[in-house]
Amino acid sequence: MPKTRNRTAENDAIALLKTDHKKVRSLFGELENTSARATTRREELLQTIERELKIHTTIEEEIFYRAFREAAEKQDDKRLFYEAVEEHHVVDTVLGELREAEPASEQFGAKAKVLKDLVEHHAEEEETEMFPRAQKLMTRQRLGELGERLAAAKLSLTEKVLTKLVELVRP
Protein backbone atom coordinates (compact mmCIF):
# COMPACT_ATOMS: atom_id res chain seq x y z
CA MET A 1 0.00 0.00 0.00
CA PRO A 2 1.44 3.45 -0.86
CA LYS A 3 2.66 5.61 1.97
CA THR A 4 0.12 8.32 1.14
CA ARG A 5 -2.74 6.07 2.17
CA ASN A 6 -1.38 5.61 5.67
CA ARG A 7 -1.34 9.27 6.64
CA THR A 8 -2.52 10.21 10.08
CA ALA A 9 -3.94 13.44 11.41
CA GLU A 10 -0.64 14.09 13.23
CA ASN A 11 1.32 14.71 10.03
CA ASP A 12 -1.12 16.72 7.97
CA ALA A 13 -0.70 20.39 7.12
CA ILE A 14 -3.10 21.63 9.75
CA ALA A 15 -1.48 19.64 12.56
CA LEU A 16 1.95 20.96 11.58
CA LEU A 17 0.76 24.57 11.46
CA LYS A 18 -1.04 24.23 14.81
CA THR A 19 2.15 22.85 16.35
CA ASP A 20 3.99 25.94 15.12
CA HIS A 21 1.28 28.16 16.62
CA LYS A 22 1.63 26.42 19.97
CA LYS A 23 5.42 26.84 19.95
CA VAL A 24 5.24 30.57 19.15
CA ARG A 25 2.56 31.13 21.78
CA SER A 26 4.87 29.52 24.33
CA LEU A 27 7.78 31.73 23.26
CA PHE A 28 5.61 34.84 23.58
CA GLY A 29 4.59 33.69 27.05
CA GLU A 30 8.26 33.46 28.01
CA LEU A 31 8.96 36.89 26.52
CA GLU A 32 6.03 38.41 28.36
CA ASN A 33 7.36 37.05 31.66
CA THR A 34 10.79 38.68 31.26
CA SER A 35 11.65 41.88 33.06
CA ALA A 36 13.13 44.96 31.45
CA ARG A 37 16.42 44.08 33.21
CA ALA A 38 16.64 40.74 31.35
CA THR A 39 17.75 42.40 28.11
CA THR A 40 19.89 39.49 26.91
CA ARG A 41 17.05 37.02 27.45
CA ARG A 42 14.60 39.35 25.70
CA GLU A 43 16.95 39.64 22.71
CA GLU A 44 17.39 35.85 22.55
CA LEU A 45 13.64 35.23 22.75
CA LEU A 46 12.95 37.88 20.12
CA GLN A 47 15.47 36.28 17.76
CA THR A 48 13.87 32.88 18.29
CA ILE A 49 10.37 34.26 17.80
CA GLU A 50 11.44 36.10 14.67
CA ARG A 51 13.07 32.96 13.21
CA GLU A 52 10.03 30.81 14.01
CA LEU A 53 7.61 33.37 12.57
CA LYS A 54 9.63 33.91 9.38
CA ILE A 55 9.92 30.20 8.68
CA HIS A 56 6.27 29.58 9.55
CA THR A 57 4.85 32.44 7.48
CA THR A 58 7.07 31.59 4.51
CA ILE A 59 6.00 27.96 4.30
CA GLU A 60 2.42 28.84 5.13
CA GLU A 61 2.15 31.44 2.37
CA GLU A 62 4.07 29.49 -0.26
CA ILE A 63 2.45 26.12 0.31
CA PHE A 64 -0.66 26.09 2.49
CA TYR A 65 -2.22 29.42 1.52
CA ARG A 66 -1.69 28.76 -2.19
CA ALA A 67 -3.40 25.39 -1.87
CA PHE A 68 -6.22 26.94 0.15
CA ARG A 69 -6.74 29.65 -2.43
CA GLU A 70 -6.79 27.10 -5.27
CA ALA A 71 -9.40 25.06 -3.38
CA ALA A 72 -11.48 28.11 -2.44
CA GLU A 73 -15.07 27.88 -3.58
CA LYS A 74 -16.75 30.80 -1.86
CA GLN A 75 -16.02 34.49 -1.53
CA ASP A 76 -15.57 33.96 2.22
CA ASP A 77 -12.74 31.51 1.48
CA LYS A 78 -10.96 34.15 -0.58
CA ARG A 79 -11.53 36.70 2.18
CA LEU A 80 -9.87 34.36 4.68
CA PHE A 81 -6.91 33.97 2.33
CA TYR A 82 -6.39 37.70 1.76
CA GLU A 83 -6.86 38.60 5.43
CA ALA A 84 -4.31 35.99 6.46
CA VAL A 85 -1.73 37.33 4.01
CA GLU A 86 -2.32 40.90 5.23
CA GLU A 87 -2.06 39.83 8.86
CA HIS A 88 1.35 38.33 8.07
CA HIS A 89 2.36 41.68 6.59
CA VAL A 90 1.28 43.54 9.74
CA VAL A 91 3.16 41.06 11.94
CA ASP A 92 6.30 41.61 9.83
CA THR A 93 5.94 45.37 10.25
CA VAL A 94 5.57 45.25 14.03
CA LEU A 95 8.36 42.68 14.28
CA GLY A 96 10.69 45.05 12.44
CA GLU A 97 9.79 47.88 14.80
CA LEU A 98 10.27 45.64 17.83
CA ARG A 99 13.72 44.64 16.58
CA GLU A 100 14.66 48.34 16.61
CA ALA A 101 13.38 48.97 20.16
CA GLU A 102 15.71 48.91 23.14
CA PRO A 103 15.00 45.62 25.03
CA ALA A 104 15.03 47.41 28.41
CA SER A 105 12.50 50.03 27.30
CA GLU A 106 8.80 50.26 27.99
CA GLN A 107 8.33 50.61 24.23
CA PHE A 108 9.83 47.12 23.75
CA GLY A 109 7.38 45.65 26.25
CA ALA A 110 4.44 47.43 24.62
CA LYS A 111 5.43 46.40 21.08
CA ALA A 112 6.05 42.83 22.23
CA LYS A 113 2.53 42.75 23.70
CA VAL A 114 1.01 44.13 20.49
CA LEU A 115 2.93 41.59 18.40
CA LYS A 116 1.82 38.77 20.69
CA ASP A 117 -1.81 39.90 20.40
CA LEU A 118 -1.56 40.11 16.60
CA VAL A 119 -0.04 36.65 16.29
CA GLU A 120 -2.52 35.10 18.72
CA HIS A 121 -5.46 36.69 16.90
CA HIS A 122 -4.13 35.47 13.56
CA ALA A 123 -3.52 31.92 14.82
CA GLU A 124 -6.97 31.83 16.43
CA GLU A 125 -8.65 32.88 13.16
CA GLU A 126 -6.75 30.26 11.24
CA GLU A 127 -7.59 27.54 13.75
CA THR A 128 -11.28 28.41 14.04
CA GLU A 129 -12.07 29.58 10.49
CA MET A 130 -9.47 28.77 7.85
CA PHE A 131 -8.38 25.31 9.00
CA PRO A 132 -11.91 23.91 9.42
CA ARG A 133 -12.76 25.30 5.98
CA ALA A 134 -9.60 23.73 4.52
CA GLN A 135 -10.69 20.39 5.96
CA LYS A 136 -13.94 20.70 4.03
CA LEU A 137 -12.28 21.85 0.81
CA MET A 138 -9.39 19.36 0.75
CA THR A 139 -9.15 15.62 1.20
CA ARG A 140 -7.19 14.08 4.05
CA GLN A 141 -4.75 12.84 1.44
CA ARG A 142 -4.24 16.37 0.10
CA LEU A 143 -3.72 17.74 3.62
CA GLY A 144 -1.20 14.95 4.23
CA GLU A 145 0.68 15.81 1.04
CA LEU A 146 0.72 19.47 2.04
CA GLY A 147 1.96 18.48 5.49
CA GLU A 148 4.88 16.63 3.92
CA ARG A 149 5.71 19.62 1.73
CA LEU A 150 5.44 22.00 4.69
CA ALA A 151 7.70 19.80 6.83
CA ALA A 152 10.33 19.53 4.08
CA ALA A 153 10.26 23.28 3.41
CA LYS A 154 10.48 24.02 7.12
CA LEU A 155 13.49 21.74 7.51
CA SER A 156 15.20 23.33 4.51
CA LEU A 157 14.60 26.88 5.75
CA THR A 158 15.70 25.98 9.27
CA GLU A 159 18.94 24.53 7.94
CA LYS A 160 19.56 27.67 5.87
CA VAL A 161 18.96 29.91 8.89
CA LEU A 162 21.27 27.83 11.07
CA THR A 163 23.97 27.89 8.39
CA LYS A 164 23.75 31.69 8.23
CA LEU A 165 23.97 31.93 12.02
CA VAL A 166 27.08 29.75 12.07
CA GLU A 167 28.64 31.93 9.37
CA LEU A 168 27.91 35.05 11.43
CA VAL A 169 29.51 33.56 14.54
CA ARG A 170 32.71 32.37 12.82
CA PRO A 171 35.65 34.79 13.12
In the prediction, which pLDDT does 101 show? 95
User: Is 112 inside any structural domain?
Assistant: yes
* ∠ CA 69-86-91, rounded to 5°: 130
Tell whether 168 is covered by a domain.
no
Q: Which residue has the higher pLDDT, 81 or 37?
A: 81
pLDDT in tens, 64-83: 999 999 999 999 999 999 99
**Is residue 52 situated within a structural domain?**
yes
pLDDT-based confidence at 171, cuts 50/70/90? low
* HSE-up of residue 52 (Cα within 13 Å, Cβ side): 20
In percent, the amount of the chain with pLDDT more than 70 equals 90
Average of pLDDT values for 144-153?
97
Number of Cβ within 10 Å of residue 47's Cβ equals: 12
Q: Which pTM value belongs to this model?
A: 0.87
Work out the average pLDDT over 25-34. Answer: 94
Domain assignment present for residue 4? The answer is no
Domains identified in the chain, total number: 1
* Residue 2 within any structural domain of the chain: no
Q: Quick check: 13 and 150 in contact, CB under 8 A?
A: yes
| Mean pLDDT, the chain, whole residue set | 91
Residue 3, in any domain of the structure: no
Q: In which domain, by residue range, is 98 found?
A: 9-162
Q: How far apart are CA 47 and CA 68, in angstroms?
A: 29
Q: 86-137 pLDDT, tens per residue?
A: 999 999 999 999 999 999 999 999 999 999 999 999 999 999 999 999 999 9
Q: Does residue 170 fall inside a structural domain?
A: no
Q: 171 in a domain, yes or no?
A: no
